[in-house]
Amino acid sequence: MLLWIGLLMMVINFSTGAAVPLFLPYIIQHIGSTEFMYGLFTSLFSFGMMAWSLVTGMFKQPKNLRIVMLGSLSANGFLMVSLALITNIWTALCVALFQGIFAMIFTIIKTTFYQQRVPAPIRGRVFAVRTLLAQTGIPLGAVFGGFIAEGYGFTILFITLGGIILIATTMTWFSEIYHQLNVPKDDTKMKNEISA
């Protein structure tokens, strides 16, 4: 389960890594707005993440982690596709805000899941592998994004990137592995496996 979450993160970061470096030309050229609006666009993404972090602290962990986690990824995929069709800067700013919110929902759930399921003696090594998997997608995505944007434009770019996220999350919705997100933690079983 932990490995598959790491691979899913790699796919998501592939799409994100392709999109983030191209947000400046997207705002300036595709939407026809200003550098100030680009700064606001990227700031609203971060604000959405920060705001949802504060909101999360007020609630208990959701009972159905699978629906919340995969639902947030699916929503982000649709939002990425919507960027391909948007030509209004204010709509793009709203999308950036909600992308930040949904990204934080996914981040909090996956991080909590890892912390609860991985025993302390090997947590550092597991998190290192998780980070390696996740970060591998970013430079690969950046190269891919530059190629698609230059050759086919921003509309095709964001439809492709959103499509990648949606295909990955659709596969996870039907995968039995991701049903384990809702399986209660079994400390005894994990301790026995580590001892073995």
Residue 184: alpha-carbon gap to chain centroid? 24
**Is 177 among the domain residues?**
yes
The residue range of the domain holding 9 is 2-182
CATH, residue 28: 1.20.1250.20
**Is 128 among the domain residues?**
yes
**Is 157 among the domain residues?**
yes
**Is 151 among the domain residues?**
yes
The reported pTM is: 0.84
How far is Cα 135 from Cα 63, in angstroms, rounded to an integer? 29
State the amino acid at position 37 in one-letter form: M
**pLDDT over 70 (residue 141):** yes
**Is 193 among the domain residues?**
no
**Is 195 among the domain residues?**
no
Span 142-162, pLDDT tens digits: 999 999 999 999 999 999 999
**Is 141 among the domain residues?**
yes
**What is the total count of domains within the chain?**
1
**Is 191 among the domain residues?**
no
Span 31-73, pLDDT tens digits: 999 999 999 999 999 999 999 888 877 777 777 888 888 899 9
Dihedral sign, Cα of residue 165, residue 155, residue 96, residue 46 = positive
